[in-house]
Every structure is written in C-alpha cells, then in structure tokens.
Amino acid sequence: HRERTSLAAFRMVGAQFGVLFISLFFTYLVDKLGGGDQYAGHFYTVSLLGVVIAACLIAAAKSSKDRIITEPVPIKENLKNVVTVVTCNLWWILLVMGLFTTFALTIRFGTIPYFIKYYLTEESLKPWGGADWMVSFFYTSGTVCALLGSAMFSAVSKKFDKKPVFLVFIFLTGLASFAFSFI
C-alpha cells in the first residue's frame, strides 16, 4: 500500500514537471517556431512536443522489464471481472468523482486564456509581457502548486489513510473553486 502510494506520488511529481516545462516554454516555442504566425507556431510546437513524447515513451518501453511473469488470463474470466467492476457501486462513485474533477479543471483552465485576453486591460497586462505571457504565468504558477501538492501527498498519506485525505482535499478544492467564482 505505502509503496504504491509512494510510486504514484513520484509519477505525479514527474508529470507535474512535464506540465511545468510546457507551461513555461510553450508560448516561447510558439513565438520562435512560428516566426510570428500563431497558427504555424502552434502546429510546429505541438508537433515537436509529440515527437519528444513519442521518443520518451519508446525509451521507457524499451528500458522497462517485467519482474513478475504472469500466466495469461482466459477471456471468460476477464469478462467476469469486467461484470464485477461494472456492478461495484464504489467504482461508479469514483468514476463520477473523476469525471466531475476533470470537467471542473478542464472548464477552469480552458476559460482562463479567454478571460485574460478579452477581459483584462492592456494596462494590467503590461507588467506581465502581454496576454500570452500572463496565461503562461498563470499555468506555471498553478503547476508549481500542483507539483508541491503531489510531493506532499506521499508524506501526508503515510500519517493518514488515503481515503480521508482524498476527501478532505477534494472538498478544499471544491471550496477554492467556489471562491474563485466570486473573483
């Protein structure tokens, strides 16, 4: 249990470092690779990131080794396991929680660039280098907070059970999201 939690925390920290890198350099790469053309810059930047990610995935797959050899499970048993999962109420609750969390984050992070670009004044954006750099700063600061939270999760879950920790933090996230709606 603790080893899985620790490995999951390391995975999340690694993922947050990837997001941090992209949030820091995406706008810069779009400007440089596009040569002033936003559409071309986005195309080349996303293409470059796709090639880098594919190379990382191939390297990870080539360097990984299964330490536990398992016997193949018959299809009939796999289907029985699927039926068991589908009839489990806790699985459905977790699925709905995950969907709501994903929707909330997607909506919030998807609307931020429009808010910054169309509702903030040019005067307020000058210290940040303009709207694009303000968006980059917003995403970067959010990623740093997520990185710290991911790093803290392993330490917190060693003292407390994961379920109450998750419930407390998801409740706090909901409160913070609700509070942001008044800003």
Q: Name the helix (H) or strand (E) containing 126.
A: none
Read off the pTM. Answer: 0.58
Calculate the CA dihedral of residues 51, 55, 60, 63 and round it to 10 degrees: 170
pLDDT at 157: 75
Calculate the CA dihedral of residues 105, 155, 63, 73 and round it to 10 degrees: -80
pLDDT at 144: 83
140 and 22 Cβ atoms separated by less than 8 Å: no
pLDDT at 179: 84
pLDDT at 33: 93
pLDDT at 56: 92
Written as tens digits, the pLDDT of the chain (183 aa) is 677 777 777 788 888 888 888 878 888 898 899 998 989 999 999 999 999 999 999 999 999 888 887 888 888 888 888 888 888 888 888 888 888 878 877 887 888 888 888 888 888 888 888 887 888 888 888 888 877 877 777 677 778 887 788 788 878 878 887 887 776
User: Which residue type is seen at 89?
Assistant: N
pLDDT at 45: 94
Distance of CA 150 to the CA centre of its chain: 11
